[in-house]
Each structure stands twice: as structure tokens, then as C-alpha cells.
Structure 1
């Protein structure tokens, strides 16, 4: 009997030993990525949160603890409402230019255009390999209200071009176009891959039933490529808000009268313009909370309807 019990325990002990070894190997493989995340992601985030409770100008050797004063100063700043409104408008425009528009172009090239697809793909993707700094300079020259090509054509037609960099509302639209020109090509290629994976038989069957093209796009192509679309949706917000900093810093410096300032530029301006590290850190934490809230809404309301088979 003892021999039988011993023989029965042997496979169990062997399984425990193997399971323990697999855990050690798994944790060992995860350790390098975890360490890198801790150094370059978690530590900066925690340190930013720490700095948001202090008054420090990056030159003094000591920091003065002020509690929630930095957050109070941010919320009571007269420009805070405008900055938040600008941030929301930037996000909306970037979604239109870098999420909705690539979907439409991808559908047209996949199911409507018959010839020259490779040329159009290359032409659309080309701006994504050009520096955003160069692209911004090109747009500034093209849209120069005095001597730019657009102004020259407008004068020939008897029209005038407004000074967009000093016009409330219009400046955000133009800056968003500059950024989208850079991001659009990559998003288009990614969306194109998802849209092209939709079975052609389904689209042809809908056409045989005389389904309008716009309904094929909205009711068939978009749902069946939504797994790719959700990735591009998140990418458009995160990448767009990061990239928009370059044209703001080069052209408007957040002006006129904070008309083009968003949360990300406010972080930079407070830290390196006014040397208010605590206020800049508070703005950074608010930006992180905004991104977290947007991701929460995405996972709660959008992720449920995503189609993953393709």
C-alpha cells in the first residue's frame, strides 16, 4: 500500500516542480520589460505626481511643499477653460482628419477605385516619412496670407486670406491640418489593411441587393474592420496630441491669447517658459487623467461592439 501511495504522489510532485519552473521562467522573461517600464514609465509618472505638490523652479536646491495649491491655481486660472476647450477641439479635429478620413479613403481605394491603387497608396503614405518640422515650414509658406501660393490665387480671384495664426478658432483648424498631414498616411495604411480584409463576396452580395454604397460602408465595412479601427482610434488621439506640439511651438507659441494652447503645450510652457515645475506637473497629471478617461470610455462603450475575426 505504501508503495502504491508513493507511486501516486510522484507524478503530482513532478507536476508541482514543473509548474514552479515554468513560473520562474515566465517571470524571468517578463523581468526585463517590467524593469524598463518601471524606469521609463512608472517612475517618471510617480515623480511627476510628487512634483505636483511642490513649488520648485528647477534651479533651487530645495522644493517647497504646497499641497494642492498647484491644482487650485490650475483650476482657478482664467485660461484653464480655454485650454480645456482647445484640447477637446484638437481631439475632435484629429479624429476627423486621422480616423474618419482614412476610413473613407481606404473604402474608396479598396472597393470603388479600379486602377492606380498602388500610386494612390504611395502618394498618400509619402508625407508620413517627412519630418513634421519640414512639413510645418511648408504649410507656413503655402498659407502665408501675404505672399503664399494660396494668397496669390485668392488675390487673383478677388478674395483675401485671413491671418490664420492670429484668428481665434481658425488657428486650431490649421494646426490640426498640419499635424494630420503627417499622421494621415500611416493611419491610412493601417486602416487599409483592415478594410481590405473584409470579404469581397459580402460586398458584392450587398451590391446585388442594390444596397447603397454608403450603407455598405457603414453597415458592413466599418463593423467588420472595427478591430483595426479601434487601434487607429486610440492611435489618432495619443499620437495626434503628441505631434500637435511641434506646429504649436514653431508657429504660434500657444497664442494668440492662448487660442492654440492645449494641455500638452501648457505643460511645456509652465515648465520651460515660467519655470513653474509644480504647475506643469499638475497639468501633466490632468492630461494623464484625460487620456485615462478617454480609454475608459473606449473600453466601456466601443470595445464591446468590436469584430475581431478579421
Structure 2
């Protein structure tokens, strides 16, 4: 091969390499984001969607968690939930928990967050840290502490009531007071967490508009009512939705430790009822059916809240 032919073949090879390089670069550019997202996608499949699919399959089976035999029963587990009076009652109590906790998830933390936001400084940071403590503490330890506080024979609350001449109560043993006691115990977590979330929303607000309102003679109450609170509507709607999602879950620990659903099922909710089906009565299929129904209800609530937000933005 002559020198000229060798040079021509080299140039031709480089031309082919140049033509192939863009394709490889494009493929690499398309695959690189997926490579970064792969750990998250794998975790979602393993820890979220995989268990959801398994629960949906288990909801149409009859299984006692110990026997190797699983019998297909179709919708019988769902029919049992609908026909059994305790599950609809537990669902209604879950809604009652949501309504009882809603002010502690929105109104109270908003008021406290605004108070702390208007007085910035080291003292405000210390108060915010103290108010956040219920989120850091273990829920079981908190529930055990409240058991001693509400003890009908020597608890702090009844001792204080007796000292001032008020009637003592069996707070966790009376069906009329037990559900409200569980709600108040759970409320501290909502208040603690949502103060932080409202504080993050308040930091994003422009203080210059409020200073201009003060120059024009507006009072602090007028500034809060007409300028600050309207800008927190989106945050409030989100926290109200999260309250509907987490109210049943966060009351579960307090119910399990303090009342076990009693007295007379007055504190039962759908999460504790699900736990009872699966791990007390060993009816795994019924418990899975209850879990599927809970997911359906939460998905419907999420869809409804999304629709409301979109209509509010477009209007």
C-alpha cells in the first residue's frame, strides 16, 4: 500500500469514527439521567410499589400468615369489610380524628409561627426548637409518659383537678373522653411540625410590603389578617391535606399503647382496625383489603385537593 493510499484509509477511518461519535454521545446523554435516578427508582419499586402490588394480591386471598396455603376468595374480603359494622365505624372515627386535629394542624401552628416570625432573634430560635421537640421524641415514649400523666388514681392532671376542686376523670377509660384525649396527645406532633413548615413559608414573604403598610397606618392585626394570612392559604391547604393523611397514622401509636382501641372501641380507627385484622385475628387478606381501601380513599383525597388547587390557580 502506498503512502497516499494509507493516508486515505486513515482519513476514511477517522470519518467513520466521527460519524459514529454523535450517536454514542446521544445515547450516553439519554442514559445518564436514568443512571442517576436508578437508585431512587429501585427504592420506590422495592419499598413502595412492590408492597402495594403484594397487598392488592393478598387482599383477594384467604391466608392466616402461618399456613403455606393461600385460597383465592375474590372480593369476599372487601364484602366482609363493608358488611361488618366495626370497619365503617372505625372509618367514621378516623374522620372524627381528622376534624379534631385540623385546628392543631393549621390554625394554632400558623398563629405561633407568625408570632415567632414577627420577633426574629435568638429567643425566637430557642422557642422554635422547644416547640419542635414532640417531633423528635419517640412516639411510644411520649405515649407512655401520657399514660402516667392521665392516670386516674395519681396522675398529674387528676391531682391538679382535685387540688382546685374539679371532678377527677378516667380520661382514657371513659368512652366520652378517651377519643379526645388521644386527639390532644397526637396534636402536639402536628403543632410542632407545622410551625416549622409555616415558618419556612413566612421566610419567603417580602417584608417590605408589610413595612409600607405600617407607614400607611395599618395595625399589626390588619397586616396579619389582610397581608400575611392570605399568602399562607396554599400552605394551609397543603397542611390540611397532610392532616387528613397522617391523622389516622399518628394516632395509631397512641391507640396501641394507651387504649388498644377501647374502651368499647371508642378510640378505634381504620389503621388500628387493619392491624387487628392482620395481627390479632390473623386474617391477612381482610387486613390487606382494608389497606387497599385506605389507599383508594387517600388517592381520592389527593385528586380532590389537586383539582381544587388547579381551579384556584386558573380562576
Matched, 1:165 2:204: no
Is 2:94–2:269's contact at 8 Å kept on the other side of the alignment? yes
Is 2:62–2:71's contact at 8 Å kept on the other side of the alignment? yes
SS in 2 for 1:116: helix
- The one-character-per-residue Cα deviations of 1:112-154 (angstroms, maximum 9, x if unpaired) are 6889323321221223222112211222222223311221121
Task: Identify the residue that residue 32 of structure 2 maps to in structure 1.
Answer: 25
Give the alignment's TM-score, normalised by structure 2.
0.84
Task: Identify the residue that residue 5 of structure 1 maps to in structure 2.
Answer: none
Task: Identify the residue that residue 110 of structure 1 maps to in structure 2.
Answer: 117
Shifted more, 226-235 versus 266-275: the winner is 226-235
Gaps of 5+ in 2: 1-16
Instruction: Give runs of aligned pairs for residues 230-241 of structure 1, distance below 5 A.
Output: 231-241=238-248
Instruction: Give runs of aligned pairs for residues 59-98 of structure 1, distance below 5 A.
Output: 59-98=66-105
Task: Identify the residue that residue 134 of structure 2 maps to in structure 1.
Answer: 127
Q: Aligned residues, how many?
A: 297
Question: Superposition RMSD on alpha carbons, in Å?
Answer: 2.7
Gaps of 5+ in 1: 1-9
Is 1:56–1:64's contact at 8 Å kept on the other side of the alignment? yes
Task: Identify the residue that residue 58 of structure 1 maps to in structure 2.
Answer: 65
SS in 2 for 1:244: helix
1:284 deviates by 0.4
Aligned CA distance change for structure 1 residues 210 and 147 (closer, same or farther; 3 Å): farther
Shifted more, 212-221 versus 134-143: the winner is 212-221
Shifted more, 221-230 versus 150-159: the winner is 221-230
Q: Higher Cα Rg: structure 1 or 2? A: 2
Give the alignment's TM-score, normalised by structure 1.
0.85
Is 2:63–2:70's contact at 8 Å kept on the other side of the alignment? yes
Is 2:158–2:169's contact at 8 Å kept on the other side of the alignment? no
